[in-house]
A and B are shown apart, each in its own frame.
Chain A
Amino acid sequence: MNIVACIKETPSTTAEKSFGPDMRLERRKEDAIPNPFDEYTIEEALRQQEKHAGSTVTILCMGPATATDTLRKALAMGGDRAVLVSDSALAGSDAIGTARVLAAALQKIGFDLALFGSAAADAYGGVVPSATAEFLGLPLLSYASKLDLSGDSTARIQRAAEIGYNEAEAPLPALVSVVKSINEPRYPSMKGIMASKKKPLDTFSLADLGLDPSSVGGAAARERAISSEKVSTQRKGEMYQGNEGAADRVVAFLIEQKVL
């Protein structure tokens, strides 16, 4: 079985963020890491590979040419090879443009199961998996908290619902997006890091994928960021001190909040 884990390069969650005049996030190479949500994507791909002997795992990423470092980091967790789609015409792509590229790359690579994270830690759009499925005309099982492949023909997932969970299934090839509760990602070991250096890493350009540069990138993007604002972390607190009715005020507050 061919399993492809689709990942994104994002800035480290602790890195200082800034935006350019066009409201695009300024990305610094030294802050780049694999999207933290995608650690679950890769882990799930590796677990499915362990369950299905003879499977291969390819890690696929669209990003700048320097994202090869991020892909090596991802390969340090495991997987057989990586593919980077990189082209100067891709800068400024929106979610639909990204999905168009990933769909073309997935078609070129060939797959039975394509895994996605449920969102990326930078943009939080969360539409790339469904848009990619749409371009490919294939089923998407979204927000999976459990994934079982029966034989080599069907994928079955559980999706957490308000009460209990839903189950859904689809014939392979299919796309599956996963949530954090699906697994506990492994951390890269020293051996994994060493092995990652020797794994094949291919780079595809738009020409390799047969895509017209005008259909992707900033030119084709129909989605634009308008403004950004820092989240204020100032919290409102009230302090009750001493013996002057502090306990009564706490109880009153808890009743007001419907805790008691």
Chain B
Amino acid sequence: MATSAKVEMGAAYLTTPVTEEHFLTPEKFDEEQRQIQEAAATFIQREVLPKTERIRHQEEGLVPSLLKLAGEQGLLMIDVPEEYGGADLGLVVSGLVAHEMRESSFAVAHGAHTTIGTLPIVYYGTDRQKRAYLPKLATGEYIGAYALTEPGVGSDAMSIRTRATLSADGTHYILNGAKQWITNSGFADLFVVFAKVDDTKHTAFIVEGAWPGISTGAEEKKMGIKGSSTRTLYLDNVKVPVENVLGEIGKGYKIAFNILNIGRLKLGAGTAGGARSALDMAAKYADERKAFGRPLHGFGMIKKKLAHMASDVYAAESLVFRTIGAVEDARVAAGEDRQAQLRAIEEYAIECSIAKVFGSEALAHCVDEGVQIFGGYGFMDEYPISWAYRDARINRIFEGTNEVNRLVAAGTLFQRAMEGRVGLMPAVPEIQAQVASGTAPDFAAADTPAALRESVNLVERAKRAAIYSVMKGAAKFMATMREEQEFLEATANQLITIFAMDSAVARALDAVRSGSTDAHAHELLAQLTVLRLLPEMRAAMEAAITMSTTGDERRAELAKVRGYLGDPELDIVPVQRELAGIVAERGGYPLR
């Protein structure tokens, strides 16, 4: 672990006071980052959105041509090192670009190319492999794809059946098998393919699409992201030169898992952007559409929806860019060695999984309420919100299902706690004393803005109550933890809601301290995030306690944690009404 003061430990948010946290927020992007964000947004606005209908119908050659145009403008070279024709701008910029993609099918094609299609070579390629392929991937001359999933093999990626057999002369591996649901497969020039050598050694290969023996099946008929190419990739005696083994033989799974952390983070950025886009559509409609003589946003229940959507976007953006900032700092501090960089990124595996889960679920909520605000029109094909609804669904499934990501988040926490890598244990005695006495100190520092004092205290008490409940269960379940998915889920849900509340409140504190002209909007967004997520956190905490206790102990423990956590005094209705007023006035998400 690097010693830079900026680099915090993964999961440190659980034990760091919210008032002392300083991290990357969208308010802190520098001029260059903002300009590139705008350039990406303009590219999507001018080149992609006008062609949405044609993209959905998979017009031959359209998505590849748009990817190549993105390449000409530099939007494929962000993560590629300069010596291989890239711009090497880092994860903050690539996260920002993912955030602006908006057209879901194009976003998936772009993401598959730049993340899982390109990064395995960036992180694991030999110099020769990088020279051969990265310059072409950086410009879009080659379109990349990633082939791991097989019929019957998804989250259990170790069970793949595609075989790689060394040729008699030792110069080639012969690949045989089928890979399912491969994004970009209809036009990809390069595939990162996972196969087993000698039936046991999980290994990655760089396979060119033009090589003999490669073919693809028909386009899948999907519920959403219809414009992205999704086919089965068939490998029939494909001769792959031994120089194209990516990484070590038998270590392919490392590539699969390590690159996924970055993939999840970028997906978090993309889904947060999608949620913002759904809110913008809904807010515009709620202004134009009148019922009973007033615009829809004049009604309390619509106000509630708009405000909740805004807080979803706020919390998602806050935790995603916080994590991106931390991961990027850690990556840079790790130096030039790519393996050291990946280890530094892995430190944030919990946060990366949360970014994916929270982003995709915030998006799911926003598109669902978006359709609801549009009413019957939202169910009609010609309204973009109906497509946003269909397109959103896949995000809870791919890049590790949200169930798998919950297991990763909670499982990693327990593993780290046992290894002493998270400062949970030292915090326990003080927390136990506080919970037992049912009283907590005032966690708001003297300079905490009045509007956020209660939010600060609720977040700090939630952190302690969560650690208390999780440690209670850990004592009971430690030996059988792998089989205790329900408890792991209850743990993950606490980790997720607390990270979201903590990130939102710390960002708002920052905005108020720095004298932002939007300070009041930040306060409302943070307050509402806490008021909405606290009940979710409480339910998960009570579930964890309930699972790990029985009878009188259960009653006593539940009473203790409920009493300690307490209830907000702030009324939610005025907060959501005022926030909805700002959303209506600004015609969408209030922060730009």
Binding site for B on A (CB under 8 A): 69, 73, 76, 187-194, 197
Contact = CB atoms under 8 A, between A and B. Distances in A.
Contacts of A187: 39, 42-43, 46
Given A188-B38, A190-B36, A194-B87, 7 more contacts: A188-B39, A190-B75, A190-B78, A190-B87, A191-B87, A192-B74, A194-B74
Nearest to B39: A190
Nearest to B46: A187
Please report whether the interface of chain B is mostly helix, strand, loop or mixed according to DSSP. Answer: helix
B35 A191 contact: no
Nearest to A197: B32
B31 A191 contact: no
Contacts of B72: 189, 191
B585 to A, nearest CB: 14
B73 interface: yes
B74 A189 contact: yes
A73 B34 CA distance: 11
A69 B31 CA distance: 9
Residues of B in contact with A, size category: 10 to 19
B235 interface: no
Interface string B78-100: 10000000010100000001000
Contacts of A193: 32, 35-36, 39
A241 to B, nearest CB: 13
Nearest to B47: A187
A189 B43 contact: yes
B40 interface: yes
Contacts of B97: 190
Q: Tell which of B72, B74, B75, B87 has the most Cβ of chain A within 10 Å.
A: B74
7 contacts: A69-B31, A73-B35, A189-B73, A190-B40, A190-B73, A193-B32, A197-B32
Nearest to A194: B87
Contacts of A190: 36, 39-40, 73-75, 78, 87, 97
Contacts of A194: 74, 87, 89
Contacts of A189: 39, 43, 72-74
Nearest to A69: B31
A218 to B, nearest CB: 29
Interface in B39-65: 39-40, 42-43, 46
A253 to B, nearest CB: 24
Contacts of B38: 188
A69 B35 CA distance: 11
Interface string B306-321: 0000000000000000
B419 to A, nearest CB: 41
* Of A188, A189, A194, most B-chain CB atoms within 10 Å: A189
B73 A191 contact: yes
Contacts of A192: 39, 73-74
Contacts of A73: 35
B143 to A, nearest CB: 18
A76 B74 contact: no
A187 B37 CA distance: 13
Contacts of B35: 73, 76, 188, 193
Nearest to B69: A189
B47 to A, nearest CB: 10
Given A69-B31, A76-B35, A191 B74 contact: yes
A110 B40 CA distance: 36
Contacts of B42: 187-188
A192 B87 CA distance: 12
A188 B42 CA distance: 9
Contacts of B36: 190, 193
Contacts of A76: 35, 39
Interface string B16-43: 0000000000000001100110111011
A197 B33 CA distance: 13
Contacts of B75: 190
Contacts of B32: 193, 197
Nearest to B78: A190
Closest 3 CB pairs of A and B: A190-B74, A191-B74, A189-B73
A51 B371 CA distance: 50
Contacts of B74: 189-192, 194
Contacts of B46: 187
Contacts of B40: 190
Nearest to B34: A193
A193 B36 CA distance: 7
B254 to A, nearest CB: 31
A160 to B, nearest CB: 26
Nearest to B76: A190
A71 to B, nearest CB: 13
B166 to A, nearest CB: 42
A162 B97 CA distance: 46
A190 to B, nearest CB: 4
A167 to B, nearest CB: 32
A8 to B, nearest CB: 20
